[in-house]
Amino acid sequence: MRDVYILGVGMTKFGKFPEKRAVDFGREACWDAIQDAGVDRKDIEAAYCGHVYQGSVIGQLIMRELGLTGIPVVNVENACSSGSTAFREAYIAVAAGLYDLALVVGVEQLSTRVSGVLPPKDTDYEGTMGLIMPSVFALRGRLHMEKYGTTIEQFAKIRVKNSIHAAQNPRAQFRKVVTVEEVNGAKMVCEPLTMLHCCPNADGGAAAVICSEKVVRNYTARKLRVAASVLLSGTMEQAGDDMTVSSLTSRAAQQAYEKAGLGPEDLSLVELHDCFTTAELMHYENLGLCPRGEGGRMIDEGKTMLGGKIPVNVSGGLLCKGHPLGATGVGQIAEVVWHLRGEAGSRQVEGAKAGLTHCMGGAIGGVDGASCTVNIIVRD
């Protein structure tokens, strides 16, 4: 397998834009990524599009807008990991030597489709019983409180931290800094999680241009290498299994660290799947950023704040930047790329050398999650 590099990225502002279509987000994000990469459009050999609810051949609809017709286009659905799964498919094809230059795009237009909580799966027992995403992370978070003494204030602080980060991100959906009192005083969704403990539905798009080691020198001296790109699905959860642990995320992270030849202590920043405040805190532990049970301490001590030991979700995360499902994973990669290049403005993580992105999606009965991706990107 060959090394794979990221040449350019693009991302639209995330938020509620009912007047726009998924194709609009895709076109704009791809345009920016292609300009950023400085590649000739004609040299792009394949395109991969991640989305959840955008219907048949959305990737081809976007490519038509760009005049990128005739090339192989792959459409990918993998719940909240759709965009990052599309990225990984492109990575595999380039690493395998099939293509030297590929385009990845993730898009979602949610605001015209869904209001309030995403509908549960009617093809799954737990979905038909009313298992919605907030309840998944509400009950696991509550168990973390019972088991480790974690408090609702600590969970609320995650939202506060991410709001402070998002205030410095012009592409973020919510840029207003909130307080612990505001977070916990908002409308109750699933006990103990209020609306502000949950990420908002969003629309948006993100894109990346990746290339092989063979051509990277033709484009840039600033080499950003994909050191690991891992995708896993969940395993059977049985009675007795600890519900404060996402073994799915832990396994994916472990594989990524091994492949990249580095550990959590080597990371400069992490963009993780904070669909809920409880998810972010528990993923500190799942990704090995701290020992089990110490997620609360991480946030109390400001370790995951910009300027802290390991800044997490400096983009604002899903909670404040927004969560346009298919775009999320590619947007995380764009954020890491900007930091590795020193282009992240006032939210820049100084001297960033390595960044990790993590997505986890899909609640289905009996297994601990449907899809999970972990990518590690390094500055060579």
With tokens 């609640």, the residue in question is 363
Interface stretch with other proteins, choices 83-91, 134-142, 256-264, 269-277 (CB under 8 A): 134-142
Q: Examine residue 80 and tell whether it contacts Zn ion (CB under 5 A).
A: yes
Beta carbon of residue 80, minimum distance to other proteins (angstroms, whole number): 18
Beta carbon of residue 211, minimum distance to Zn ion (angstroms, whole number): 29
Q: Examine residue 151 and tell whether it contacts other proteins (CB under 8 A).
A: no
Q: Examine residue 149 and tell whether it contacts other proteins (CB under 8 A).
A: no
Interface stretch with other proteins, choices 63-71, 169-177, 181-189, 305-313 (CB under 8 A): 181-189
Task: Give the residue with the Cβ less far from other proteins, 88 or 283.
Answer: 283
- Measure Cα distances from 45 to 63, 70, 83, 87, 100 in Å: 12, 9, 19, 14, 7
Name every residue whose Cβ is closer than 8 Å to that of residue 142 and which is 6 or more positions away in sequence: 191, 192
Task: Give the residue with the Cβ less far from other proteins, 55 or 130.
Answer: 130
Q: Examine residue 134 and tell whether it contacts other proteins (CB under 8 A).
A: yes
In the set 30, 49, 80, 290, the catalytic residue is 80
Binds 142, which of Zn ion, other proteins, none (CB < 5 to 8 A, cut-off by type)?
other proteins
Name every residue whose Cβ is closer than 8 Å to that of residue 339 and which is 6 or more positions away in sequence: 268, 269, 314, 348, 349, 352, 355
Q: Are strands 73-76 and 46-50 parallel, antiparallel or unpaired?
A: parallel
Binds 80, which of Zn ion, other proteins, none (CB < 5 to 8 A, cut-off by type)?
Zn ion
Give the helix/strand (H/E) hosting 292: none
Q: Examine residue 11 and tell whether it contacts Zn ion (CB under 5 A).
A: no
Give the helix/strand (H/E) hosting 11: strand 4-11
Give the helix/strand (H/E) hosting 154: helix 152-166
Q: Examine residue 132 and tell whether it contacts other proteins (CB under 8 A).
A: yes
Task: Give the residue with the Cβ less far from other proteins, 191 or 380.
Answer: 191
Q: Examine residue 306 and tell whether it contacts Zn ion (CB under 5 A).
A: no
What does the alpha-carbon distance between residue 163 and residue 156 come to, in Å, rounded to a whole number? Answer: 11
Beta carbon of residue 278, minimum distance to other proteins (angstroms, whole number): 10
What does the alpha-carbon distance between residue 186 and residue 64 come to, in Å, rounded to a whole number? Answer: 43
Known catalytic membership, residue 323? yes
Please identify which residue in 275, 282, 289, 377 interacts with Zn ion, judged by CB under 5 A.
Answer: 275
Task: Find the length of the chain.
Answer: 380
Closest of 44, 5, 45, 51 to residue 26, by C-alpha: 51
Strand extents, DSSP E, 59-187: 73-76, 101-108
- Measure Cα distances from 302 to 38, 67, 167, 307 in Å: 38, 47, 17, 9
Q: Give the contact letters, 234-273, x = binds to other proteins (CB under 8 A), - = no.
A: --xxxxxx-x------------------------------
In the set 165, 323, 339, 358, the catalytic residue is 323
Beta carbon of residue 359, minimum distance to Zn ion (angstroms, whole number): 7
Binds 116, which of other proteins, Zn ion, none (CB < 5 to 8 A, cut-off by type)?
other proteins
Beta carbon of residue 372, minimum distance to Zn ion (angstroms, whole number): 11
DSSP 316-350: -HHHHH-B-HHHHHHHHHHHHHHHHHT--GGG--T
Q: Give the contact letters, 88-127, x = binds to other proteins (CB under 8 A), - = no.
A: ----------------------------xx-xx----xx-
Q: Examine residue 136 and tell whether it contacts Zn ion (CB under 5 A).
A: no
Q: Examine residue 130 and tell whether it contacts other proteins (CB under 8 A).
A: yes
Question: What type of residue sits at position 81?
Answer: S
Helical H runs in 46-81?
A: 58-65
Q: Examine residue 68 and tell whether it contacts Zn ion (CB under 5 A).
A: no
Give φ, ψ of 310 to 5 degrees: -140, 90
Tell me which residues touch other proteins (CB under 8 A).
Answer: 116-117, 119-120, 125-126, 128-132, 134-135, 138-140, 142-143, 146-147, 187-193, 236-241, 243, 365-366
Tell me which residues touch Zn ion (CB under 5 A).
Answer: 80, 275
Residues with catalytic roles? 80, 323
